[in-house]
A = this chain, B = another copy of it.
């Protein structure tokens, strides 16, 4: 296959060549949070290159972002309550408001018209017009508000740390409807929604287990999950609560980073029953499935956060382990899973790996990088 060999060399050369100035389509771009600098790096996934640094986003410790449906605008949620609209086409800040004292993440509606932010101080959710960032709805909750996600039908779902309630805000009609579900458990600390928008699951800090809601039910009721499992079972200090956003769906199973334990749990997606456990190197922070679901990549809490383990989702065995460097904070797969980008904060690098050969393909300089977000997220629910 000589022509093929040549084409591979060509392909490699293209990947290594300097970025063409005419890169203007946005489907393979992404933003990387530089948490200390208050800036984001605009990157090109295909070129494995940095395009620009955009500064002035405030306090980006524990920051996240969502994308507009056209993959042009990013809405960055800062810890300081700042909501910054970044234009990745012009590479500038299009708009910025400080909407609260202390925020903890946000979401964008399925039609791309509404951006919601959940706040610690004051507690509650505020909803903004995605075009203007004008306040559209203010929803006080008298509680720290966590686990905010978008759901199909112009809805947002979020949960109250203090009161253990989950609220569903439906903005499909001019008059917003709010459904309140009580008894979700003691001090929910995070939540996720499945990619189809059907199942919402909260992690609990104050008691064992988790709580799920079937959003397809007319009147969703709390469903207890793994009621005998959780932080209450063990005495080791919890260095860092695992991120439920990190839950992976592999075929018909979820992978749950265990709270405080050195293991991940496998849970049947239909029955929500435990189907297995895999012992890990440390306390998992993210357990993320490659988009095809065949591998799960796990990073760990301090002081074991220099290591990545890769688990085969069929055998549930660890098939690869390596040390990218100090403080691996986040992972992002390319949309079809052939490569993965890792933030290695204390190395000041983002490292790019082939997910099949595990070969390192590239390092990109970044200032204390944390979250990596590719624009393909624009097309998915709950990200």
Interface residues, chain A, CB within 8 Å of chain B?
A: 1, 3-5, 7-8, 10-11, 14, 22-29, 45-46, 67-72, 88-89, 110-114, 129, 131-132, 134-137, 152-154, 171-172, 174-176, 196-198, 216, 251-252, 269-270, 291-294, 314, 334-339, 356, 375-376, 378-381
Contact = CB atoms under 8 A, between A and B. Distances in A.
Contacts of A293: 196, 198
Given A25-B26, A71-B27, A174 B4 contact: yes
A174 B8 CA distance: 7
A216 B315 CA distance: 12
B3 A137 contact: yes
A74 B174 CA distance: 38
B113 A11 contact: yes
Most buried by B among A71, A334, A375, A380: A71
Contacts of A337: 110, 152
Given A25-B68, A26-B70, A196-B293, 18 more contacts: A1-B137, A3-B136, A4-B176, A7-B129, A10-B131, A11-B111, A24-B26, A25-B25, A26-B27, A27-B69, A27-B378, A46-B69, A46-B112, A152-B338, A153-B356, A216-B314, A252-B269, A335-B380
B27 A70 contact: yes
A8 B112 CA distance: 12
Contacts of A154: 338
Contact of A379 (B23, B269, B294, B376): B376
A134 B333 CA distance: 29
Contact of A336 (B14, B26, B335, B380): B380
Tell me if A's interface is mostly helix, strand, loop or mixed: loop
Most buried by B among A25, A88, A337, A378: A25
27 contacts: A1-B137, A1-B174, A1-B175, A1-B176, A4-B171, A7-B113, A7-B136, A11-B113, A23-B70, A24-B26, A25-B26, A26-B26, A26-B70, A27-B71, A27-B375, A27-B379, A28-B69, A28-B70, A46-B70, A69-B335, A110-B337, A152-B338, A153-B356, A196-B291, A335-B379, A336-B379, A336-B381
Given A24-B89, A197-B292, A4 B338 contact: no
Contact of A4 (B28, B137, B252, B269): B137
Contacts of A137: 1, 3-4
A131 B376 CA distance: 21
